[in-house]
Chains A and B, each alone.
Chain A
Amino acid sequence: MSSARIFSLFIIFIFFLALPAQAKDMILKEPPQSLSKYYPPESKEPKWIQQMHKMSTHFGGVFVNLKEKDFENVDKHADKLVEEYKKTSEMVPEWEEYFDIKAAEAFAAAAKTHDMAKAGKASGGLGKTCGKCHAEQEVAVWTRFHWPSFRKIKVTDPISEKEMGFDDYMSQVSSSFKGVTVNFGEGQYDRSAKALKTFKSQFMELKSTCSKCHTTDDVKRFYVGEDADTAFAGLAKELNAEKPNPGKFWKNIGLLGKTGCKHCHLTHRTYSFIRETWEQK
């Protein structure tokens, strides 16, 4: 077999190998600047998402009313959908190509026949245009406009009283946490108790940090709430005891990890990583 042939086969093999992976890949590009005017502070309200809700409501309204044989409202929703779809297509110039006005009009026409099957069939063409944009942009838009940037958050360390970036602060929290667990593991209970004082103070400071975005007490308490209080009280009790009970100590460490740490990390970290990548540009 000639080397050229082997090379060609290799390329074909690589191509087919890569295809399924490419089909599943998701590339998150920062949304265009023109979208900013539909989100605060440039807009009073998150108008873009509201626009999405409007279209979704009219789209759903067609089918709800077809099912209920309320044809007057089917027609109304069909017309409103086309109107809102056209309006949306003009909002972000960079995304104009995602929209297919003819598909929207075809769907409206099919809906107005009041035939569920025809409407269902025509919805496919329109749905594809929505789906393409959602697949390529939805996560990016949510990340950019509905999640905070942790890199902009400043925290004052209650121990050193120095202001620092959020990432640096979390490193400090992590270090003081290790001071508690490592020393306990080594049987150095006094050192562990001292580290606990620091760790607790830094952990509780996160309540203030959370409040920079979370204005509702219940949400703040989801991250740093009763479980944290219980865990810290339990840890302090063990470390002040003459003979600390490792089982109870690690149980309380686990409680802190499973509630405070995990709640926040599971909710925020993924989006935070994406924003961090964009902000590093």
Chain B
Amino acid sequence: MKLSTRLLNLLTAIGCFAIAGIAVAYFLINEKFEWIPESALELVREKELLERPDAKRCSECHKDIYEAWKESRHSISWISKTYIEASENRSKEKCLACHIPESVTGEKPSPRLDRRDDGIYCVSCHFVNGKMNGPYDLVAPPHPTHRNPDYVNSRFCGSCHQKTFKEWKETGVEDTCQNCHMPRTKDRLTQKFPLSLLHKQKWVGSHKFLHGDLSEKDILMEAEFKNNFFNLSLLNKTVPHKVPTADNGDPRIYLYITFLNAAGEQVDQAKEILAPQQETALPFNKEVRFRYRLFDPVAQAIIVLKYQPAWSKERVVIWEKIIRP
């Protein structure tokens, strides 16, 4: 047999063994991890992963989740300019617990002293009582992970988002915080090659913690001119908590009404601020009415609804409408 043929056979055999090895490991890790002896797992454990690593360290394996989190407001909860200004250079004690939580467990957390720049990070939510926790039981050779049903429960988010959690509970809607703000896709938990090959695809929630875009279908409006009054109502039809909502931030919806006469000249204007801190935010499925007295003849009212999140001065138009008598 030629040398080249022998080499080819050898490589083929190695390849087959490698594939078989991966297949066996895949099967054991994902289906029968109880068969793996603890002593074997101890060999591949990375103990420092259970010593509150920083987010960057987690990203070595969980690249996709890290990148999504990096885009979220959670990742900048300690370093955001808005927070620093609003908390008087972070000196307000009451803000610390939720801007740099040590361990989120469903109760109001305690603040931590280390890795503050990471804000609300991997360890804050997934590392509880010295163990890695998540929505799945995983053998995860570098660090075992324990299933905790709280991760798909709104109460978990309610550790910090207490007012929003209460508002949601009052609506009686079953969709949880995670359903809307952490939509799930089938994906692997790790992207580190070749370890990624050993991971079965699972439902993974988006760690961008999506912030809903509001539109015409979310906030409905009805308006009419009657006698010398202009009556308008708004209805939060789809969001099962107040809109906007916040525990301590100050997001707002601005309602601008401009009244024009037949010549197109402005004769009057009105403005409403719908904000949680002013207790004027729109409740779920409950009409909120406004009434304006008209002193001059009005040919049309231009109504604009704008949203301003807590962390920005920019206002985004939700919708614009024109109403005529």
Contact = CB atoms under 8 A, between A and B. Distances in A.
A158 B248 CA distance: 19
A237 interface: no
A158 B269 CA distance: 13
Contact of B94 (A39, A156, A215): A215
Contacts of B278: 204-205, 207-208
Contacts of B250: 208, 211-212
| Top 7 A-B pairs, shortest CB-CB distance | A211-B277, A41-B90, A208-B277, A40-B93, A207-B278, A44-B111, A152-B88
Interface string B76-89: 00000000011011
B261 interface: no
Interface in A201-223: 201, 204-205, 207-208, 211-213, 215, 217, 220
Contacts of B277: 207-208, 211, 220
Contacts of B88: 148-149, 152
B273 A212 contact: no
A158 B273 contact: yes
Interface string A35-65: 0000111001110000000000000000000
B227 interface: no
B39 interface: no
B110 A44 contact: yes
B86 A46 contact: no
A92 to B, nearest CB: 18
B279 A207 contact: yes
Interface in B285-325: 293, 313
Contact of A40 (B85, B86, B91, B247): B91
A211 B113 contact: no
A158 B96 contact: no
Interface in B84-139: 85-86, 88-94, 96, 110-113
A208 B275 contact: yes
B96 A41 contact: yes
Contact of A44 (B86, B96, B247, B248): B96
Interface residues of A, number: 25
Nearest to B163: A217
A45 B271 contact: no
A86 interface: no
A208 B275 CA distance: 8
A45 B92 contact: no
A247 B93 CA distance: 45
Interface of B: 85-86, 88-94, 96, 110-113, 247-248, 250, 271, 273, 275, 277-279, 293, 313
Contacts of B91: 39-41
A154 interface: yes
A44 B113 contact: yes
Nearest to A158: B273
Nearest to B252: A208
Given A44-B96, A213-B92, 19 more contacts: A39-B91, A40-B91, A40-B111, A41-B90, A41-B91, A44-B110, A148-B88, A152-B85, A152-B88, A154-B85, A205-B273, A205-B278, A207-B277, A208-B250, A208-B277, A211-B277, A215-B248, A217-B279, A240-B293
Task: Give the one of B248, B277, B313 with max A CB within 10 A.
Answer: B277
A207 B279 CA distance: 9
Contact of A215 (B89, B113, B247, B313): B247
8 contacts: A39-B93, A40-B91, A40-B96, A41-B89, A44-B110, A201-B273, A208-B277, A211-B250
Nearest to B270: A197
A14 B191 CA distance: 83
Given A149-B88, A208-B277, A45 B248 contact: no
Given A158-B271, A211-B277, A40 B92 contact: yes
A143 B247 CA distance: 26
Interface in A177-215: 201, 204-205, 207-208, 211-213, 215
Contacts of B111: 40, 44
Nearest to A209: B277
B93 A45 contact: yes
B271 A201 contact: yes
Give the interface centre of B90, B279, B293 by most chain A CB atoms within 10 Å: B279
B197 to A, nearest CB: 43
A167 B86 CA distance: 16
Contacts of B293: 240
Contacts of A220: 277
A279 to B, nearest CB: 12
B29 to A, nearest CB: 39
A196 to B, nearest CB: 13
B94 A46 contact: no
A201 B252 CA distance: 14
Contacts of A207: 277-279
B153 to A, nearest CB: 24
Interface string A213-238: 10101001000000000000000000
Contacts of A163: 313
B271 A212 contact: no
